[in-house]
Amino acid sequence: MTNFRHKLALIIPTRNRLELLANLLKSLREQTVQPHQVIIVDGSDQPIEPEIKQFLSPGVSYLRVFPPSLTRQRNEGIKALNEDMTLVGYLDDDIVLESDAVEAMLNFWEKCPDDVGGSSFNITNNPPVKLSLFGKLLGRLFCLDNGRQGVVLRSGFNRIVSPVLEDTYTGWLCGGATVWRRQLLEEHKYDERLSAFAYYDDVDFSLLVRDRWKLVVQRNARVQHYPPPLDPKKSYPFARMLVQHRYLLVRKHPQLSVPLFYWATLGHTLGLITSSIWTRNSADIRMALGNMAGLVDAARGNLIQINEEFRK
């Protein structure tokens, strides 16, 4: 192994996605430089340790956490770190790394400024976001978008930043392809109030640390993201959960705005209704209804746990 001043551990939370996990582990095994430690944190309905035995080794370990929750699995993974790890990364189980991704990430940390607290792998296959003129106007009016990548708006809505052509400072980092200084993860925990797949946990954590530390998307550490498609029949509970989690986000962080959260969610709902009429997409109507249910939940303080599988 090439000598680096940092030692990198990777934590991989997973649940019921054995084939995707195997693809990730194969890409890790083929790295030009191996991570110093890998921890697979399994929340599947049935333990998958026998099925992934071929990938386990002294440097790759298995940890069972049940009942599952992405944030809880991330926090439990921290407890299993070797003492000498100085960098800790999180990879979603639907990520595949290019062969030199770990080496590029470690090279970045060799020379990055001391005020960088976290860096993200460069997700090169993120689809481009293309908005119509109406969509752009709606985004500006309702604080859904300001035309800049990688921002967290005061409404709680956020904009992606990957892929990038150069190292790029950003307002938040994607939680499923991210490397942090270990000391940050000893000072801050992921919010376990966020149920199941814990959408917005990465934005929440980024906001906790970015006042003190800078966040960077690293261009040369390239990965691809292959999430299964959302089940359109689950659009209603999915949207309801997103609204609830975004509400928790804006309530938690004083730099965000609860009134703007309500305003933006109403604007997003209007956009979904307009889209459903224009495209005859029933999933958008279900999303709009889920948005409205989430707004009612937030107004009543009735933040229920929604633990469904939203992807096919």
pLDDT tens, position by position, 50-95: 999 999 999 999 999 998 889 899 999 999 999 999 999 999 999 9
Return the pLDDT at 1. 52
pTM for this model (two decimals): 0.93
* Contact assessment for residue 151 and residue 203, using Cβ atoms and an 8 Å cutoff: no
What does the DSSP 8-state code read for residue 178? Answer: E
Beta-sheet pairing, 116-123 with 177-181: antiparallel
* Contact assessment for residue 298 and residue 272, using Cβ atoms and an 8 Å cutoff: no
What does the DSSP 8-state code read for residue 179? Answer: E
Q: Is 1.10.579.10 the CATH classification of the domain at 8-126+162-225?
A: no
The parts of the chain modelled with pLDDT lower than 70 are 1-2, 195-197
| Residue 153: CB atoms within 10 Å | 21
Instruction: Report in angstroms the alpha-carbon separations of 32 from 17, 101, 185.
Output: 26, 8, 27
Residue ranges covered by each domain of the chain: 8-126+162-225, 232-300
Residue bearing tokens 């999430």: 227
Is 190 strand, coil or helix? Answer: coil
Is 218 strand, coil or helix? Answer: strand
